[in-house]
Amino acid sequence: MSHSKNTFTIKRKYLIVLLLILSTSVIGMAFSKDDNDDFKVSKREVLLRKIGHELLLQSGDRTSRVLPVKKIAENEYQILFANELTFQPDSLINTTRRVLALDPFAADYIVNVLRCDDSGVAYGYAISKNKKEDIVACIGRAQPKACYRIDIKFKPAEIHAINNNYLLGSLPFLALVGFMLLRPAKKQQAVPEVVPADTYMLGAVLFDSKNRKLRVNEQTIDLTATETRILLIFALSPNLTIERSRLQKEIWEDEGVIVGRSLDMFISKLRKKLEPDPDINIVAIRGKGYKLEINSQEVLPRIN
């Protein structure tokens, strides 16, 4: 039992260390994900400014500025210009497709060219990683020179969603594992000792009535047939007074002779043999008989 308990304790310590390592890994992944997101956003904004720069060049403008890219929502950005410009829809489509190919998370997006004065959509199209799902129309028609801002909305990257789900899903699991490991261990209930048939536990003494033996402190003590019959009566009624007349009758009546002093002699011999256990003794009850006193524990019943 002690070895099993120690083994359980060692395993529990290893599991706690493993839990700490997993928790650290999850937290590290969360911070790493945030760093990657910041880098991804910064790179995307640079690519969007490049699109604006190339559109100005295609419009014949080599001097005006592309204003800072504006992030208006999660995965949605606007390219702003300092001056008016004109553009060819097919050139705009090819430019965005070529530049955004450098962004691994920009496979699917929608582009709307908005007029600055009324926010009306001057032109729009949708690009998908599956080209059959592209929505492109009205190419080959030059747009008039005006103030435009280009709105690009990206489809959320699947890997981003998977990371979020992984992190959110792992936290309850780690919390459950931590609760299971760190909660106080339930005390194991002692399993009652099963005593073989015709055998009795008298304190620390094992009384084998069938084989007429006592076992105590790794010693085996032999009993006579009469000693066995006397001790069996006591074992069936521990801590109870057994009348002298009953003992004499049950032990010697079948032999036709009852010797008064014989009982005292056998009681004395039994006391001597029970001495290894100080918590068990056969005491004389004045004017009545004898009693088997067991102070440490009750006698375990015989199993038939």
pLDDT 10s digits, 206-257: 999 999 999 988 899 999 999 999 999 999 989 999 998 888 888 877 665 5
Specify whether 97 is located in the same domain as 203.
Answer: no
Specify whether 48 is located in the same domain as 109.
Answer: yes
The residue among 107, 129, 159 that closes a domain is 159
Mean pLDDT in order along the chain per 10 residues (304 residues): 57 68 64 65 89 91 92 92 92 91 88 91 90 82 90 77 56 64 57 68 90 90 92 91 88 64 87 90 91 71 46
Specify whether 69 is located in the same domain as 203.
Answer: no
Specify whether 6 is located in the same domain as 149.
Answer: yes
- In this prediction, residue 253 carries a pLDDT of 72
Specify whether 147 is located in the same domain as 206.
Answer: no
179 within domain boundaries: no
187 within domain boundaries: no
Specify whether 41 is located in the same domain as 136.
Answer: yes
- In this prediction, residue 263 carries a pLDDT of 86
User: 184: number of CA atoms within 13 Å, CB side?
Assistant: 3
Query: Do residues 96 and 50 touch, judged by C-beta distance below 8 A?
Result: no
Query: Do residues 55 and 87 touch, judged by C-beta distance below 8 A?
Result: yes
The neighbour count for residue 154, using CB atoms within 10 Å, is 18
The residue among 159, 183, 210 that closes a domain is 159
* Domain of 7, in residue numbers: 2-159
- The set of residues, in sequence order, having a beta carbon less than 8 Å from that of 78 and lying 6+ positions away, is 69, 70, 72, 149, 150, 151, 152
What is the CATH classification number for the domain harbouring 247?
Answer: 1.10.10.10
Specify whether 48 is located in the same domain as 139.
Answer: yes
What is the total count of domains within the chain? 2
